[in-house]
Amino acid sequence: GIEEIENAEIQDDGLQMADLDDDTDEEPEIAAAETATPSPKDRASPPPISNLPIDRVVVFQSAPLAYFDRKTTQHHDVPLLDFEYEASSLKAALEDKEAVGADVEFIFQNATSDQFQDYFARGTSPIMHMSCHGHPECIALENGFGYMQSVSADELQNYVESSAGKVEVVVIASCYAEEMAKMFLSAGIQHVVCLKREAVFRDYGPVEFAKGFYLALAKKQTLSEAFDAGMEAVKKSPLVTSSKNVSKYYKLLPKGNTHDVNIFFRRSLPKAPPSIQPAETSLLP
């Protein structure tokens, strides 16, 4: 989180040869190649048309390089997050569409206010996944020039209201996931999944959760069942070294509300925006 960062400073061709006469020195003649047209049944069949259900997840990755603290009038660097790893892991989890039984695509976007506003206005997907350092008092986006841009509660509410209920779930992977969740709930989002991440370059926990979670939703499980699948994925993953007390880090809000609802494959989707290629970070520690 930004505050934590301040404190703490990864065929054969069918050619026939003419008979050779041993008593002559003439060059052998080559017969013309046979060019019989293959029968219809021998022609390759066209690829089958997929009848798999289709849906989409839009992933916003907020990675400002710095932010300005108005209280101290100081500029602060913001460490990188491994968005390349997150993107490749999520896409790989649902890559085998026949095995999954569905075609769910991931669209990755830079988290600028314009992209954010367009997403909600068009209702590009029923689920928004947001990955960022975060801030306890605002939604921390990018301004398009490398700096953090904050979105107030009122602005967020206007964005959410413009979606007219098309955006049902927000998944937040951030150091301040729960604080941000409260803002989205107050703005009118029905379901929020909190994935509290550590203030490190690569945190495996939220990624392992998201893989299990989205796979379950693609298999037409309810939101509540998908959340449980995500929790199990974290507990069973050899990549997550501290899987105790996962309920402290991963939450489905609001508490007490029913989350036994299906999210995917319930409506047609608008045209997808272009997906960005997350920054190359494989050479970083």
Tokens of 72: 């101290």
Q: Which residue has the higher pLDDT, 180 or 20?
A: 180
The stretch 197-214 carries a mean pLDDT of 95
CA–CA gap between residue 86 and residue 109 (Å, rounded): 13
The answer on pLDDT for 60 being more than 90 is yes
**Cα distances (Å, whole numbers) of residue 228 to 77, 129, 187, 250:** 36, 17, 25, 10
The answer on pLDDT for 156 being more than 70 is yes
Phi, psi angles (nearest 5°) of residue 88:
-65, -35
Residues 6 or more apart from 254 whose CB is under 8 A from it? 185, 192
**Cα distances (Å, whole numbers) of residue 223 to 94, 104, 156, 170, 184:** 17, 16, 23, 12, 17
The answer on pLDDT for 202 being more than 70 is yes
Banded pLDDT at 50 (limits 50, 70, 90): low
Q: Determine contact, residues 131/180, Cβ cutoff 8 Å.
A: no
How high is the pLDDT of residue 159? 96
Residue type, 22: D
Q: What is the pLDDT of residues 120-150, one digit of tens each?
A: 999 999 999 999 988 888 888 988 887 788 8
Q: What is the pLDDT of residues 230-259, one digit of tens each?
A: 999 999 999 998 767 788 999 999 998 889
The answer on pLDDT for 285 being more than 50 is no
Q: What is the pLDDT of residues 93-119, one digit of tens each?
A: 999 999 999 999 999 999 999 999 999
How high is the pLDDT of residue 232? 96
Beta partners for 252?
Answer: 193
The stretch 60-89 carries a mean pLDDT of 78
Secondary structure of residue 19 in the 3-state scheme: coil
How high is the pLDDT of residue 75? 61
Banded pLDDT at 67 (limits 50, 70, 90): low
Question: Taking the complete model, does pTM exceed 0.85, yes or no?
Answer: no
The answer on pLDDT for 46 being more than 50 is no
